[in-house]
């Protein structure tokens, strides 16, 4: 099965081979949407399962991410069609945190799951984050944090959402600095063990 | 009061305190790299007898099920209420000051003494490098222009965080905490001076000048103010004052000459300290032609590139992997550390510090091992072990089954090296220099002492230039501090260096992520 070969190329992090396999699969008549669900989502699931037992290192994850992004770009050069996108999640690393590798991994995983992503970048102020969430009618706010100095900011997100009447937004936190805390402690809805765990949580809510 | 039994000693304790807090008040201290939040996971103890609560969330993060079943716990998380017997698994390094052996120490010959206080028959000076992990000092004789003695010891602030960020956060918690950190650095320097004067019969009243360099975080913590600014990225590339207002009380408190001068050399920007400037000075980076690069390895690796007009400086937060920290089998370059490894047919041969039984690998040993593993195909460029290698990790020698290099360790080293290599690449790009225009490379930091340059180049930790153009310089910060202490012309030169420095913020650079990924590979550094 060539969908299987595409999945393997993705998991090997081989960008060129993955795009090539994707072309072969689509030339064989498989629709783009099926490629996403059968190859990309499956590859990400496998990666997620292995990540938790530390079988993948950062480079491997980044390479898979890169390959997935390349295939998605090839499949949807104009960006994914609105029908294929579920939900909307706003992503950011907060003010003072300039590390965005982790956030970018989350972004790739969410896109691969067909979830709409609005990226607020790194060193993002709470003001900008909430504004964006309001403007984009987001259902999720995802905060990735590598340094513990941002914890007080994370704790304020809920109250700021409330003050704008955005009480239905779910707040997800993750990253080295945040995953040591509990959801109650951070005043968020969910603390993700890693990018895949966070994406799983979001997908489950969207499906419910 | 309930009793805590540790290594035969019986210590009464107040219920409510954590094991770490109890032990900190005794001679049986545990290793620590954070302020007791559980973030570092270093304070391992084994519960031998007695009841304690269930493991906390944080403990489950650091310890697997098998370890927990064996009774391993984090001392900061366990709050005992009844009699308990424990074993400390990782003890704190012994306090105390050592006299380091240094290979190349300069001599200054005649020193102009007209600025020194009059009436001192035999004036002496002290240079201090206030490092994140270590504090280094050297005592100088203004009459002969020679170094008299030196000391190196652990910065006691490490107990409040082994990395700069944790320590800054700790100081931001309260004025009390900030004061504690300030006093710790101040007192450590005093202790070192006392150790010198007691053991080597030096009269501290003859010390008439003291010069101190350090990274910006250490300087603000020493000053007790402005450390909170360093948590904000916009301050990283601009100067931060670190006034040490209580300098006046140093001479009296440290017992040095009362009219003696104390100069804390100001840093250049939030992440470029006066330690790097001192390194630029001591390596004469800007004096011997264009295309010279200094990489000063440390917990934060700082680097400077001279292109003939500007000095491009930056800092790469690579973490302390090359100091052996954060690596399962890693350790500092102390007794018992494997510092050199070679492969003879299929047998590993290694050298151990002080010829002791091997306990782990220090930075240079890790570099050797990685290069050998990649060269022999046991590890691929991506950091994956051959399928035939035990998933638990690579065991260096069956005689020492405890020394295991895991995939996670390799990943940590890959990240540290990628941060540094990305720094080099971005500095080169900013300066518009190509690979061929890089003429000289200076490697600073104790890590360089035993570094095998060819191995470091093979895994892409150092740029590929002729081995003869690379100098391993040891502590360049302390050497530069000595220049400032002993030579007025160097003080003038420092001002020139400041004037042409350009601070580069790696994280703000568009090419950062791509370059970082590219440099995660365990292969030679690719440069334009």
Q: Is residue B7 included in any domain, yes or no?
A: yes
For the cut 70, the answer to whether the pLDDT of residue A76 exceeds it is yes
pLDDT band of residue A180 (cuts 50, 70, 90) is: confident
pLDDT band of residue B409 (cuts 50, 70, 90) is: very high
Q: What is the pLDDT of residue B490?
A: 95
Angle between helices B407-431 and A58-75 (to 10 degrees): 70
Average predicted confidence (pLDDT) for chain A: 89
Q: Which domains does chain A have, with CATH numbers?
A: 2-75 (1.10.1240.10), 85-207 (3.40.50.280)
For the cut 80, the answer to whether the pLDDT of residue B34 exceeds it is no
Q: What is the pLDDT of residue B442?
A: 96
Q: What is the pLDDT of residue B161?
A: 84
Q: Which residues from B are below 8 Å from A95, CB to CB?
A: 232
Q: How many CB atoms sit inside 10 A of residue B26's CB?
A: 12
**Which residue from B410, B507, B517 is facing A62, i.e. has the nearest CB?**
B517
Sheet holding B84-88, edge to edge: B9-12, B3-6, B84-88, B44-49, B72-74
CB contacts under 8 A, A 147-176 vs B, are: 147-149
pLDDT digits (tens, 9 = 90+) for A92-144: 999 988 888 889 889 988 988 889 999 999 989 999 999 999 999 999 999 99
- Contact across the interface for B516 and A59, Cβ inside 8 Å: no
B73 and B128: one domain? no
- Contact across the interface for B408 and A54, Cβ inside 8 Å: yes
Q: What is the pLDDT of residue A54?
A: 63
Q: Which residues from A are below 8 Å from B414, CB to CB?
A: 57-59
CATH code (residue B8): 3.10.20.30
Q: What is the pLDDT of residue A80?
A: 64
Which of B37-51, B283-297, B492-506 is least confident?
B37-51
Helix H or strand E segment including B72: strand B72-74
Residue A14 sits at the chain B interface (C-beta within 8 Å): no
B324 and B464: one domain? yes
For the cut 90, the answer to whether the pLDDT of residue B466 exceeds it is yes
In the three-class reduction of DSSP (H, G, I as helix; E, B as strand; rest coil), residue B477 is classed as helix
Share of chain A above pLDDT 70, in %: 95
B504 and B403: one domain? yes
Name the domain boundary from B271, B306, B323. Answer: B271
pLDDT band of residue A82 (cuts 50, 70, 90) is: low
Between CA A158 and CA A118 the distance in angstroms is 19
Q: Which residues of B386-396 are buried (b: 16+ CB within 10 A; e: fewer)?
A: eeebeeebbbb
A64, A47 Cβ separation under 8 angstroms: yes
**Which residue from A63, A96, A101 is facing B232, i.e. has the nearest CB?**
A96
Model-wide pTM > 0.90: no
pLDDT digits (tens, 9 = 90+) for A24-42: 999 999 988 888 888 988 8
B37 and B142: one domain? no
Which of A80-84, A172-176, B95-99, B488-492 is least confident?
A80-84
User: Based on the number of CB atoms within 10 Å of its own CB, is B114 exposed (0-12), middle (13-18) or buried (19 or more)?
Assistant: exposed
Q: Is residue B211 included in any domain, yes or no?
A: yes
pLDDT band of residue B369 (cuts 50, 70, 90) is: very high
A vs B, Cβ pairs < 8 A, gives: 63
Q: What is the pLDDT of residue A135?
A: 95
Average predicted confidence (pLDDT) for chain B: 89
Q: How many CB atoms sit inside 10 A of residue B463's CB?
A: 21
B245 and B346: one domain? no
pLDDT band of residue A194 (cuts 50, 70, 90) is: confident
Count of domains in chain B? 3
In the three-class reduction of DSSP (H, G, I as helix; E, B as strand; rest coil), residue B165 is classed as helix
Residues 6+ apart with CB under 8 A from B509: B426
Give the start-end residues of each E strand in B111-186.
Answer: 124-130, 134-141, 146-154
From residue B204, alpha-carbon distances to B126, B138, B198, B211, B238 in Å are: 10, 13, 10, 15, 37
pLDDT digits (tens, 9 = 90+) for B163-211: 888 899 899 989 999 999 999 999 899 989 988 888 788 888 899 999 9
Q: Which residues from A are below 8 Å from B521, CB to CB?
A: 59
pLDDT band of residue A83 (cuts 50, 70, 90) is: low
Domain that holds residue B414: 283-528
Q: What is the pLDDT of residue B450?
A: 86
Q: Is residue B267 included in any domain, yes or no?
A: yes
Give the start-end residues of each E strand in B404-517.
Answer: 404-405, 440-444, 470-474, 501-503
Average pLDDT, stretch B495-509? Answer: 93
């Amino acid at each position: 099965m060539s969908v299987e070969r595409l999945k393997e190329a993705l998991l090997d992090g081989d960008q060129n081979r993955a795009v090539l396999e994707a072309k072969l699969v689509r030339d064989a008549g498989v629709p783009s949407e099926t490629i996403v669900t059968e190859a990309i989502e499956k590859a990400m699931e496998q990666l997620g399962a292995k990540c938790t037992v530390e079988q993948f290192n950062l480079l491997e994850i980044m390479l898979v991410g890169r390959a997935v992004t390349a295939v998605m770009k090839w499949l949807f050069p104009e960006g994914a069609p609105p029908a294929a996108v579920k939900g909307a999640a706003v992503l950011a690393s907060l003010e003072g945190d300039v590390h965005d590798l982790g956030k970018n991994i989350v972004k790739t995983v969410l896109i691969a799951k067909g979830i709409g992503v609005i990226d607020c970048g790194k060193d993002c102020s709470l003001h900008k984050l909430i504004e964006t969430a309001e403007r984009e009618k987001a259902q999720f706010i995802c905060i990735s944090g590598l340094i513990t100095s941002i914890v007080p900011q994370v704790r304020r997100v809920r109250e700021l959402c409330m003050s704008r009447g955005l009480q239905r937004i779910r707040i997800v936190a993750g990253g080295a600095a945040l995953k040591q805390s509990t959801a109650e402690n951070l005043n968020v809805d969910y603390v993700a063990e890693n990018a895949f765990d966070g994406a799983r949580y979001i997908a489950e809510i969207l499906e419910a | 009061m309930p009793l805590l039994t540790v290594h035969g000693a019986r210590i009464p304790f107040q219920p409510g305190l954590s094991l770490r807090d109890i032990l900190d008040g005794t001679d049986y201290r545990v290793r620590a790299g954070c302020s007791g939040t559980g973030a570092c996971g270093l304070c391992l103890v084994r519960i031998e007898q007695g009841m304690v609560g269930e493991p906390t969330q944080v403990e489950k993060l650091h310890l697997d099920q098998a370890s927990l079943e064996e009774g391993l716990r984090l001392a900061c998380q366990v709050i005992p209420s009844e009699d308990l017997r424990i074993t400390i698994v990782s003890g704190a390094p012994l306090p105390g000051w050592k006299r380091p052996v240094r290979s190349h120490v300069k001599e200054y010959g005649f020193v102009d003494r007209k600025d020194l206080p009059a009436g001192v028959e035999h004036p002496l000076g002290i240079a201090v490098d206030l490092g994140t992990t270590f504090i280094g000092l050297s005592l100088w004789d203004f009459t002969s222009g020679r170094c008299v003695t030196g000391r190196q010891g652990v910065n006691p602030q490490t107990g409040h965080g082994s990395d700069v960020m944790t320590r800054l956060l700790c100081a931001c918690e309260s004025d009390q905490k900030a004061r504690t950190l300030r006093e710790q650095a101040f007192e450590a320097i005093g202790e070192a001076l006392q150790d010198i004067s007691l053991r080597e019969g030096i009269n501290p009243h003859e010390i008439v000048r003291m010069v101190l360099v350090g990274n910006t975080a250490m300087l603000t913590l020493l000053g007790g103010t402005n450390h909170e600014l360093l948590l904000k990225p916009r301050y990283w590339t601009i100067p931060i004052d670190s006034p040490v207002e209580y300098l006046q009380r140093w001479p009296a408190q440290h017992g040095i000459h009362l009219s003696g001068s104390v100069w804390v050399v100001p840093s250049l920007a939030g992440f470029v300290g006066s330690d790097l400037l001192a390194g630029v000075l001591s390596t004469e980076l800007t004096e011997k032609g264009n295309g010279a690069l200094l990489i000063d390895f440390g917990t934060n690796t700082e680097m400077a590139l001279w292109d003939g007009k500007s000095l491009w400086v930056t800092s790469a937060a690579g973490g302390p992997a090359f100091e052996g920290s954060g690596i399962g089998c890693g350790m500092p370059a102390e007794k018992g550390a494997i510092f050199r490894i070679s492969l003879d047919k299929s047998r590993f041969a290694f050298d151990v510090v002080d010829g002791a039984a091997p306990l782990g690998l220090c930075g240079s040993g890790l570099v050797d091992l990685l290069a050998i593993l990649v060269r022999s195909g046991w590890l691929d460029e991506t950091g994956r072990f051959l399928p035939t290698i035990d998933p638990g990790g690579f065991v260096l020698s069956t005689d020492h089954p405890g020394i295991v290099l895991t995939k996670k360790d390799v990943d940590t080293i890959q990240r540290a090296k990628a941060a540094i290599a990305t720094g080099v690449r971005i500095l080169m790009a900013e300066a518009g220099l190509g690979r061929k225009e890089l003429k000289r490379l200076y490697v600073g930091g104790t890590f360089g002492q035993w570094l095998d340059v060819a191995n470091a180049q093979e895994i892409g930790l150092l740029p590929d230039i002729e081995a003869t153009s690379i100098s391993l310089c040891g502590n360049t910060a302390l050497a530069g501090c000595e220049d400032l202490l002993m030579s007025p012309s160097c003080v003038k030169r420092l001002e020139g260096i400041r004037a042409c420095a350009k601070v580069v913020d790696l994280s703000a650079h568009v090419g950062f992520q791509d370059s970082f990924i590219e440099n995660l590979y365990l292969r030679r550094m690719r440069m334009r």
